[in-house]
Amino acid sequence: GQNIDQPTEMTATEGAIVQINCTYQTSGFNGLFWYQQHAGEAPTFLSYNVLDGLEEKGRFSSFLSRSKGYSYLLLKELQMKDSASYLCAVRSQGLYGGATNKLIFGTGTLLAVQP
Amino acid sequence: EAGVTQFPSHSVIEKGQTVTLRCDPISGHDNLYWYRRVMGKEIKFLLHFVKESKQDESGMPNNRFLAERTGGTYSTLKVQPAELEDSGVYFCASSPKTGLILDTQYFGPGTRLTVL
């Protein structure tokens, strides 16, 4: 089956660093995405990993280990505006092993940044 | 560049009625997707268009749901007749082309559907 797990809620302090973990079990793997979603708004693309290792983009970094079925999103120098839901999504494989653009989402991690 | 837009933002209907949701993708994007989030659950894939053709409709719940993308531009998702369990947020997303390694999907703000 398809399963993506991430913590439901996290709390962190302004200026600190927070790591949001995501583990996945999917029938095939063709990339992992992180999205940020503020309440009532569209999910916004943050990062993409398809190879093992760390991808850095400003204050945000994302790590992937395909052998462990594991990713994390690292947010540095937290700001109040980072309070949002963070969605981990895997792009699986289609029938017969072909690529598919279908994303499989976790339930999201609601991050609260406190002063 | 305008993002993905969806209309309406909210819809409240009674069980048995019909509702049509509209999605306008980013101009020039061949791929268009519909997803749904039921309260308390994860966002789930419904279907994928490549231009006007249905590439993958494996996530469509049942035959009460009909998606169209005539002309390969905007898309509509009709629910007829609506049931209580259809309540949720319906997201549309678009991406440029199939076959790219990184084919990022850009999401719209969603339509919140409430069936009473």
Distance (Å, rounded) from C-alpha B19 to C-alpha A92? 31
Residuewise pLDDT in 10s, chain A (115 residues)? 679 999 999 999 999 999 999 999 988 888 999 999 999 899 999 999 999 999 999 999 999 999 999 999 999 999 999 999 999 999 976 555 555 688 999 999 999 999 9
Do B37 and B45 form a contact (C-beta atoms < 8 A)? no
Q: Which of B25, B26, B24 is nearest to B7 (CA)?
A: B24
Contact check, Cβ <8 Å, A31/B105? no
Among B3, B4, B48, the residue with its CB nearest the CB of A102 is: B48
CA distances from A106 to A8, B3, B79 (A): 10, 24, 25
- In three-state secondary structure terms, A99 is strand
A contact residues 18-77, partner B, Cβ 8 Å cutoff: 31, 33, 35, 40-45, 48, 50
- Chain A residues with CB-CB distance to B4 below 8 A: 42
CA dihedral angle for residue B20, residue B90, residue A102, residue A72, rounded to 10 degrees: 170
Contact check, Cβ <8 Å, A102/B58? yes
